[in-house]
Amino acid sequence: MVEIEALNLLRQRKEALKKLPNPADQNISFEKYEETVSRTMTKTQTDIEAVSKYATEIIDELENVRELVKNCSIKIGEHLQELMKKNLIKIEFSPQGRPLNRDDIDMKKLEQVQTVQRLAKQQQELMEFIAKTEQLVLKIESNAALSFSDFTGVSSQMKQWCDGLETLEEQKKRKREEKEAEETRKREKEDAERKKVEEEERKKKEQEEAEKQRKEQEEREAEEKRRKQEEEKKKRDWKNWPPFIYYNPRKNKFSQDICCVIYTMPDGTDASYFSCQGSDAVEDLDKCLETNDEQVISSVITIQPQKVKKMFELPMRVYVPIVSHDQSLLPTLKLSINGQKWRSGKSLPEIQLPKVTGVSFVGVEIPVKQFENIQCVAVARQKRHEIEVDEKGKVFEPEVDRNIKVKFPQRAFPGKTVVATKAVPWTHADIKNASKKHKELQNIKTAGSYIDISCENTTKEDSDLEMYDFGWVVDKNINKNQSVNQETLNRCSRWVVNNLNPDENALQLNDVFDSDFVDDLKTKETDGDKNRLILRHLHDSDSDSDFDNFLVGLKSTQPNVANRITSVKNQVKLSRKTKDTDAEDNFASDFDPDFEKKEGTICVVSKLTGKSWEIVPIEASEEHPKARFLKLPSGNDKYQVLGLVVPDNMSDEDICRAAEILEGLNCVTNVSVICRQKHSNPHEVIIECVKSENVATTMQHLDSIGYNDGPAESAEFGVVDGEEIEIKFESNLYLERLKHSLLKIKFYKHLPFSRYSEHLVVVSKAEQGEDSNYHGYLKYSVPPGRLSLPRSGSLVVYVPKPLDEIIGNFPYTLDVPVKALAKFIAWQLTRTNFNSTKWVRLGGFLTNCDSHLYHQIVKHIDEEATKAPQRERCEHFILYWANHHAPIESDRIEEIIASHHDPSLESEAHQFIKPYLPGKGMFSNDSLEKMSFAIAGEWETMAKNLGFPNDEINKIKNSQPGAVKQTLRMLDVWRLSDSAIQKGTDLVKNFHETAKSAQCGAKLLNIISKNVN
């Protein structure tokens, strides 16, 4: 509140009091009069209290003002005295006694005195004004009666004080000065405004220019920043990094010229910073193998810094060339940093290098900032699900199979640990095919997948493995029929768990399931758990409509799953229409790869780090009847688990044996051992281990270079990379180079197989004396190690004995050509008449027309064979002449033939005798020996085909030791037999046909065919 407001309130109250009605007025009721007076008095009291409070403040302030005015007046008086003392009159310039005039007065000082006097008067009037004001305030404060004159007195006093502040002239001067000052202020204001406007315009322009420059600067800075960011981004984008390509000094065993390719962020690093070296040595390859399914597809690459160690801002990328491999396997680059454990990196996208074609690479990021040594190797292996587990533990389902759940508790590992899980599903066909080679699997059926869990570190706490849906195991004690829908779900439940997307957006849950079920579904921690809950709800539902509605909803959101379930359902319906079948017995394994009817006992076998397979305790679940739970004991870093359904009476040993076989089925390469002998020297052999699919081509190649003898390839057996096939010879043969040591063949599927050229040595020539061959056993085996399954076998290798060792002093028929010719001519001359005497003429020419000699020979024949037919007499005549009367230096064969004196008969005789002539003759002794070796194994069959009776065959067997000598005796007898002689000039051709009909070997047929005209 200010003083004007206080006075105004008092005036308003005064006017209100004046307007109060007269109580004697008849026009107003007493109640109205009372109300008006009461309201006015209440308001007046309120206002007076307010003014009184303000009056107190005024008195205090007036007191302060009084003191200030008083002090000011004192100062004015003192100043006035000082002015009067300071020679107001110019006495020093005025003569003595002269009256003072205006000139003697210091006018400036006089004006100062007058001004000070006027101020003193104003101070006096002000003090009087303050006194009157105090009186007024005291009256107001004490609620004393106030009159209008009180206020007018104060006002007039104030006016008097104000009027006394200046004279009229001063007032005019003041007003003029005020006007001038006003105009000056106006001009100054206008100038100021103009200047302000100008200044604002200038500032605006400056600001605009500054803003323009700032924006330009910002744009330049932004552009520079963007450029730097782009450069940095480009610099950090590995696609813009130059590749450092390192080459092998020569092609490695994988036929690769390139050793590796390295990418690093351009930070001054060049190709000379690294040294890269590849190794194909088996001792290096062995070190990098961890699991049995790994196949090495590159050299082991060692990368080392050549210069002072530096810090890498971003991970370097390393690519290694790889060979082609099974497309079902995943190429992975493994690395070991500074000698630490091997670990797998996530494969990077494929790269294409300029001017490099036909080479595939696999790469990995190496997240190290410094290193001393990095080793890399590429392996092809089955797909794994890798996950990182920390001290808090983790529950997860492998991507490859949601029917498996692994639970690592808290503190299972001391820190972050990578866990790799693979699951290999088995099919009925897999086991059926395997059981053909392994009888141990004939009564085995698998339940679930083969599980392999590899941990980067050893576990510190027991963990859990939950294996769901072992398939439909028949319970003989329960005969429970199922609906079509239930059977359908049982058949394809494993597949559905792995392929159904349980996300709420991918399923129309509200159309089939109530809100409680949907809420329960959301609480499940894994997709597998959610899918199992859905399937169990559908299986246990009392109404088929839930299943049908669920299937309808799937057709729009997940048609592939809907189609699979529908297909299985149709097969179930079809099977139920078959006669003489019921719902329980009609389960068949060919409906769906997931499903198989299994009868027997469920068991689980496990293999821990460095141990053998053993049966482990398992727990069943009422909630999941087809599931089994087991513990993974601590202190291990590798776990292999396999569920089996086995016959009730199968022993634990046989079950574990079956597990050993199954372990290798999914990772082995089937091979055979080949041992081929050089045809020209059977002691020279080539030994090789060959993949089964390459056996035929390898055999063909060895045949083409002369190694076409020896046993057939070994039986097929399986090996994995890094295993060693051990070969040794036993019995009567050994390898000259190795003596009795083992020949060890290291196996790596993608490396060229080593081919060993060896020389066979006979241990003892005295042994196997009665045989036509020395023989020994090539025995091969794969020692247990990477696979515990033993694999072994043997081949029989024969080395033919030299002819002189086999034949020795064989009692050949003597003078065979003469005897054969004598028989032939005798047959030739009596061919049409058994008792013809044409031979007499031949006898005369043979004795050179010496009648005495002729009759002497005839006389001898008469003594030896008086009653012999003419054919026999002719034969005896020729032989007696040849043995007793033929000239010593003469060619008996030619003389006997010339005795015909018939060109036609002579020509026929010449043609006939050729196979009997020594040297190259087909039926000479030398040739008989070769043929004996060729048909020794089947000589009895050949003898029968040549017309030998059984008793004569037995006689030969009893008279000669060994098949070769027996064959030789048979051929020696046969070549002079009537059946042979009477074949005439067709003898060789007929012998060839007989050999073919007896199914003799190619070796004999080749020998004969060279002599067939």
pLDDT band at 31 (very low <50, low <70, confident <90, very high): low
Q: For residue 558, give the amino acid letter.
A: Q
Those residues with Cβ within 8 angstroms of residue 842's Cβ, 6 or more apart along the chain or in another chain: 825, 829, 874, 878, 899, 900
Give the CA angle between residues 255, 256, 258 to the nearest 5°: 165
Mean pLDDT of 150-162: 62
Asked whether residue 274 falls in the same domain as residue 130, the answer is no
User: In the structure encoding, which two tokens stand for residue 401, read together?
Assistant: 């199979």
Q: Which of 379-383, 513-517, 709-713 shows the lowest mean pLDDT across its residues?
A: 513-517
pLDDT tier, 584 (very low <50, low <70, confident <90, very high otherwise): very low
Query: 82-117 pLDDT, tens per residue?
Result: 655 555 555 544 455 556 566 666 666 666 666 656
Domain extent for 452 = 407-473+598-665
Mean pLDDT of the residues in the chain: 82
Q: Is it the case that residue 710 has pLDDT exceeding 90? A: yes
Q: What is the pLDDT of residues 620-633, one digit of tens each?
A: 888 888 889 999 99
Residue 845 pLDDT exceeds 50: yes
Burial (CB count within 10 angstroms: exposed 0-12, middle 13-18, buried 19+), residue 541: middle
Do 702 and 772 belong together in one domain? yes
For β-strands 374-381 and 295-296, DSSP reports them as antiparallel
pLDDT value of residue 473: 54
- State how beta strands 733-735 and 463-467 pair: unpaired
Based on its alpha-carbon atoms, the radius of gyration of the chain, rounded to whole angstroms, reads 65
Indicate if 840 and 979 belong to the same structural domain.
Answer: yes
Claim to verify: residue 784 and residue 890 sit in the same structural domain = no
**Cβ neighbours of residue 398 closer than 8 Å, sequence gap 6 or more:** 385, 404, 406, 421, 422, 423
| Residue 476: pLDDT over 50 | no
273: pLDDT strictly greater than 50: yes
365-382 burial: b if 16+ Cβ within 10 Å, else e: bbeeeeeeebbbbbbbbb
DSSP label of 473:
B
Least reliable range by pLDDT among 507-511, 674-678, 1005-1009: 507-511
- State yes or no: pLDDT of 471 exceeds 70: no
Q: How does pLDDT run across 805-837, given as a tens digit for each residue? A: 667 667 788 888 988 888 888 888 888 887 788
Asked if residue 570 belongs to a domain, the reply is yes
Residue 760 lies in a domain: yes
pLDDT computed for residue 591 by the predictor: 45
Residue 178 falls inside a structural domain: no
Of the candidates 934, 939, 894, the residue with the CA atom closest to the CA atom of residue 917: 894
The total number of structural domains that make up the chain: 6
Give the model's pLDDT for residue 714. Answer: 94
Structure tokens that stand for 487 in this block: 């059977």
Q: Where does the pLDDT of residue 655 fall: very low under 50, low under 70, confident under 90, or very high at 90 and above?
A: very high
| Range among 9-13, 27-31, 474-478 rated most confident | 9-13
Query: What is the percentage of the chain residues whose pLDDT exceeds 70?
Result: 79
Q: Provide the b/e sequence for 440-465 (b: ≥16 CB within 10 Å).
A: bbebbbbbbbbbbbbbbbebeeebeb
What pLDDT does residue 755 have? Answer: 93
Lowest mean pLDDT among 150-164, 346-360, 530-544: 150-164
Whose structure tokens read 């050089």?
678
In tens, the pLDDT along 304-358 reads 988 766 677 788 899 999 998 888 888 999 999 888 888 887 788 888 888 888 8
Tell whether 737 and 859 lie within a shared domain.
no
pLDDT of 280 > 80? The answer is yes
pLDDT of residue 800 exceeding 60, the answer is: yes
Show Cβ contacts of residue 65 under 8 Å, excluding neighbours closer than 6 positions.
130
Q: Is residue 199 part of a domain?
A: no
- Same domain? 631 vs 672: no
**SS3 of 395, please?**
strand
Do 823 and 695 have their domain in common?
no
Nearest-angstrom CA–CA distance, 680 and 699: 17
Residue 102 in any domain: the answer is yes
Mean pLDDT of the region 233-261: 88
Query: What is the share, in percent, of the chain residues with pLDDT greater than 90?
Result: 25
pLDDT in tens, 425-441: 877 777 888 888 888 88
Q: Is the pLDDT of residue 949 over 50?
A: yes
- CA dist 629 and 621 (Å) reads 8
Last residue of one domain, picked from the residues 114, 143, 165: 165
pLDDT band at 942 (very low <50, low <70, confident <90, very high): confident
Q: Is the dihedral of CA 647, 650, 653, 658 positive or negative?
A: negative
Residue 319 tokens read as 């690519």
In 817-976, the DSSP E strands lie at none
The highest-confidence range among 466-480, 505-519, 851-865, by mean pLDDT, is 851-865
- Among 644, 665, 686, residue at a domain's last position: 665
User: What CATH number does residue 734 fall under?
Assistant: 2.60.40.2660
Domain boundary among 801, 831, 851: 801
* 603 touches 644 (CB < 8 A): yes
Same domain, 373 and 287: yes
Query: Is residue 488 in a domain?
Result: yes
Residue 608 has pLDDT above 80, yes or no: yes
126 versus 540: the higher-pLDDT residue is 540
Q: What are the tokens at 423?
A: 């699951």
Please tell me which residue, 775 or 766, carries the higher pLDDT value: 775
The answer to whether residue 734 sits within a structural domain is: yes
The pLDDT score that the predictor gives to residue 479 is: 43
Give the residue with greater pLDDT, 996 vs 145: 996
* Residue 312 in domain: yes
Query: In terms of domains, do 913 and 983 share one?
Result: yes
Kindly report, residue by residue over 375-424, the tens digit of the pLDDT. Answer: 999 999 988 888 999 999 999 998 888 999 999 999 999 889 989 998 88
Same domain, 257 and 287: yes
Domain check: are 363 and 242 in the same one?
A: yes
What is the spatial distance between Cα 402 and Cα 493, in angstroms, rounded to a whole number? Answer: 11
- 91 and 64 together in one domain: yes
Burial of 863 (0-12, 13-18, 19+ CB in 10 A): exposed
pLDDT(865) > 60: yes
